[in-house]
């Protein structure tokens, strides 16, 4: 029953983290809508927006899950399903080894927990890697596109040029967009699919700029330059925030890792105390208190770090 309670607490924490992440995305989307509303000319009486943001970010729950699944397979590279199966089997045996040497509890529950935690950590790692690649490549893509548009090339040709000159996930997406536009696919559908594969606010701004230029015209070069400058300022603020919170984040990681490192050391240097914590009912109360308090503390610190402005 205790392990079932811990299992429920774990799923509650995962659901909270997912809800917090989705809430942050919704706030970013609301900011886009507020930006369009505030910057709209005051003498305009029409209630229609230049670009319908819901066509870019308004997916159903099943659509979001399906797009996330396809993005993860794409990030895994060649033979993604085989890699995923190997990873799941590896997590299963890691859970079995950890349980036999440390916890000595129900193998099925521990193995399932290891698989779930491994998939969650792997998902976060792939998302962080793709986001970092986007932040490093996208400003270069904007500069190249500005140069191409300034030289007199059309929008489709500029997108194709960026895709052929760069490498990485952003370049692949620009190439895909150019090919679909050249084949005559509707720009709205092309950009909506691109936003599903690159779900970042700055890419939304970029797509809004392109769609507004296609539908209403305007100086695309100046707008892209301003967008690039805006992105540079945002990255500067993010790096400054990361530098200011680096000490607190490092301290939180060290404090969170100390109890688990202490248990591992105790397993080899003090087996009698380790057996008391793992086997004795009174000792297990200490273990459960440590797990719950560590989880609550990590969630609180993580929420404070995410809410820093």
Mean pLDDT throughout 272-277? 84
Is the pLDDT at 7 greater than 80? The verdict is no
Tokens linked to 148: 């191409």
DSSP 8-state symbol, 184:
T
Contacts of 73 (CB under 8 A, 6+ apart): 80, 81
**pLDDT above 70 covers what percent of the chain?**
79
Mean pLDDT throughout 193-213? 84
Higher pLDDT, 85 or 233: 85
pLDDT of residue 257: 85
Q: What is the 3-state secondary structure (H, E, C) of 10-28?
A: HHHHHHHHHHHHHHHHHHH
Is the pLDDT at 230 greater than 70? The verdict is yes
pLDDT of residue 91: 92
d(CA 191, CA 181): 10
d(CA 51, CA 144): 25
pLDDT of residue 31: 42
Mean pLDDT throughout 178-197? 87
pLDDT of residue 36: 43
d(CA 151, CA 134): 25
Question: Residue 109: which pLDDT band, with cuts at 50, 70 and 90?
Answer: confident
Question: Residue 115: which pLDDT band, with cuts at 50, 70 and 90?
Answer: very high
Q: Diameter of the chain by CA atoms?
A: 79
Lowest mean pLDDT among 31-45, 102-116, 123-137, 185-199: 31-45
Mean pLDDT throughout 210-226? 77
Chain segment 144-170, per-residue pLDDT in tens: 888 888 888 888 888 899 888 888 888
Mean pLDDT throughout 235-259? 82
Is the pLDDT at 90 greater than 90? The verdict is yes
Short-list 151, 145, 144, 139, CA closest to 213:
145
Question: Residue 55: which pLDDT band, with cuts at 50, 70 and 90?
Answer: low
> Domain locations in the chain?
245-309
Crossing angle of helices 187-197 and 169-182, in 10° steps, is: 160
Check: pTM over 0.75? Answer yes or no: no
- Average pLDDT over the chain reads 77
Which position has the token pair 């050391």?
265
Cα dihedral across residues 271, 289, 108, 19: positive or negative:
negative
d(CA 191, CA 131): 18
Question: Residue 15: which pLDDT band, with cuts at 50, 70 and 90?
Answer: low
Chain segment 20-46, per-residue pLDDT in tens: 554 444 444 444 444 444 444 444 333
pLDDT of residue 6: 52
DSSP 8-state symbol, 147:
H
pLDDT of residue 27: 47
pLDDT of residue 165: 87
């Amino acid at each position: 029953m205790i392990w079932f309670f811990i299992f429920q607490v774990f799923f509650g924490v995962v659901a909270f983290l997912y809800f917090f992440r989705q809430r942050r995305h919704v706030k970013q989307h609301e900011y886009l809508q507020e930006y369009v509303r505030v910057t709209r000319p005051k003498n305009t009486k029409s209630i229609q927006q230049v670009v319908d943001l819901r066509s870019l970010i308004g997916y159903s729950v099943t659509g979001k899950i399906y797009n996330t699944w396809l993005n993860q397979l794409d990030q895994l590279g060649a033979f993604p399903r085989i890699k995923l199966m190997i990873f799941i089997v590896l997590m299963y045996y890691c859970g079995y080894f950890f349980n036999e040497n440390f916890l000595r509890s129900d193998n099925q529950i521990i193995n399932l927990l290891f698989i779930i935690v491994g998939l969650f950590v792997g998902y976060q790692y792939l998302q962080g890697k793709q986001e970092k690649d986007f932040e490093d490549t996208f400003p270069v893509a904007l500069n190249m596109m500005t140069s191409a548009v300034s030289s007199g090339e059309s929008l489709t040709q500029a997108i194709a040029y960026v895709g052929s000159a760069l490498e990485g996930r952003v370049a692949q997406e620009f190439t895909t967009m150019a090919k679909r536009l050249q084949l005559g696919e509707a720009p709205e559908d092309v950009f909506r699919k691109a936003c599903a594969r690159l779900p970042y606010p700055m890419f939304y701004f970029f797509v809004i700029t392109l769609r507004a230029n296609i539908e209403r015209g305007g100086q695309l070069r100046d707008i892209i330059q301003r967008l690039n400058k805006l992105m540079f300022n945002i990255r500067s603020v993010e790096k400054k925030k990361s530098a200011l919170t680096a000490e607190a984040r490092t301290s939180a990681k060290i404090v969170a890792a100390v109890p688990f490192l202490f248990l591992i050391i105790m397993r080899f240097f003090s087996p009698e105390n380790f057996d008391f914590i793992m086997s004795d009912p009174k000792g297990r109360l200490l273990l459960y208190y440590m797990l719950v308090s560590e989880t609550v503390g990590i969630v609180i610190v993580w929420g404070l770090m995410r809410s820093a402005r």
